[in-house]
Amino acid sequence: MELTASPLAADPSEPALVRRQQATLFTAEQPLTLECGLTLGPITVDFQTYGELNSRRDNAVFICHALTGDSHVAGRRNADDRKPGWWDGFVGPGKGIDTDRFFVICANVLGGCQGTTGPNSLNPATGRPYGPEFPFITVADIVRVHQTLVDSLGIDRLLAAVGGSLGGMQVLEWAARHPERVASAILLASGSRLSAQGIAFNTVGRRAILTDPSFNGGNYYGQAETPRFGLALARMIAHITYLSEQAIEQKFGRRLQHRDQLCYSLTEDTEFQIESYLSYQGKRFVERFDANSYLRLTRAMDYFDMERDHGPMPASLAATAARFLVVSYTTDWLFPTEQSRAIVRSLVQAGRHVTFTELSSPHGHDAFLIESELPMLARLVSPFLDRTWRDLPRA
């Protein structure tokens, strides 16, 4: 494996700075064979690590990010970062996942757009971005790449795989496909498959991108115009599923954005505060994400189905000795609690060790990312990791 590190343009004495790393996995001669039957290689993986790997190499925790996340889970990459990583309140010294004790790895997913090989990466065969030629990928493909990264770091077994939403699907895939590679699995606001309603929202979001006049069949790299309107609309649609009715009512209600009276305009789309909020989310998303990546990753999420891919869950999860922590949220309607309970029932039938908690939160699906919710999550995850660590077999 070839490893490179991106230099930091900031004061190296700043303790919050983290190093961005890249690994080159697979090759053109020995590529990754994808679930769709096509091959891909070489593959670059963007990742970050926190803490130190111990001499036994058994204190590694792999964090699987959600749909639009990336490897920058905590800290700041440089002094100009507007904000720290997306789980900075949860990952770090003395936090829910304690980097004073554990070696934390977070890698951008295959097909992403934050440094790991994806549609916006250069195709070595053509010297141009892959664009629409980038192959169809699945959650299994994503995990295979990350498992190879873990191998390259000299780690035989993870202390834990942790993830929420699409990240939780990856955790399930780790447990089912590589049962000997994880000592524990932590699933947050996730499920064994996306509901028909979830697929429907993803479908509308993709259609918004595909019908954007600037999409150009996915060949928009280097153009003056990109499918930013379609991608922004896709994000607005998806963001509705991440919230709850209670959260929307509490935060926005029917309050107007700037006026005391209605303007009675069909073209004014930010008159209500909720409209302005969704518009802002869409515009910010376009600044950091790629439309072709969004198409592929939402489709990977749609296709994931534990029972179709691995057979009945009690049987597919029986091979792992991993301990499980499963957490759901009361107002999450994208992955409602019943989906978590179904996983728990399967684990009980398989005779696996499982802890389940439904947390009360007004924040909907995004609760596991909300700063105010992290202390409660830490009170579950921290002792769970401690117990897993204490119970590890040691020579």
Q: Which of the following is catalytic: 309, 332, 346, 361?
A: 332
- % residues pLDDT > 70 (the chain): 96
DSSP state of 47: E
For residue 131, give Cα distances in angstroms to 42, 119, 290. 16, 5, 10
Q: What is the pLDDT of residue 12?
A: 40
Q: Quick check: 185 and 211 in contact, CB under 8 A?
A: no
Report the candidate in 375, 336, 380 with the shortest Cα–Cα distance to residue 357: 380
Mean confidence (pLDDT) of the chain: 93
pLDDT at 339 over 50: yes
Phi, psi dihedral angles at 131 (to 5 degrees) = 55, -135
**Spatial separation of the C-alpha atoms in residues 128 and 132, rounded to whole Å:** 11
Q: Which of the following is catalytic: 121, 165, 192, 293?
A: 165
Q: What is the CATH number of domain 2-195+307-391?
A: 3.40.50.1820
328 is catalytic: no
Amino acid (one-letter) located at 184:
S
User: Before 42, cis peptide (omega within 30)?
Assistant: yes
**Spatial separation of the C-alpha atoms in residues 187 and 168, rounded to whole Å:** 5
Q: Are strands 21-25 and 43-50 parallel, antiparallel or unpaired?
A: antiparallel
118 Rama class: left (phi>0) / alpha (psi -120 to 50) / beta: beta
Question: What are the domain boundaries of the chain?
Answer: 2-195+307-391, 199-297
- Read off the pLDDT of residues 55-106 as tens digits, 9 standing for 90 and up: 999 999 999 999 999 999 999 988 778 789 999 999 999 999 999 999 999 9
- Read off the pLDDT of residues 354-393 as tens digits, 9 standing for 90 and up: 999 999 999 999 999 999 999 999 999 999 999 999 999 8
Q: Quick check: 301 and 332 in contact, CB under 8 A?
A: no
Assigned CATH class of 199-297: mainly alpha
How far is C-alpha 254 from the geometric centre of its chain's CA atoms?
32
CA-based max dimension of the chain = 74
Phi, psi dihedral angles at 164 (to 5 degrees) = -120, 150
Q: What is the pLDDT of residue 3?
A: 43
184 is catalytic: no
Q: Helix, strand or coil for residue 358?
A: strand
165 is catalytic: yes
pLDDT at 6 over 80: no
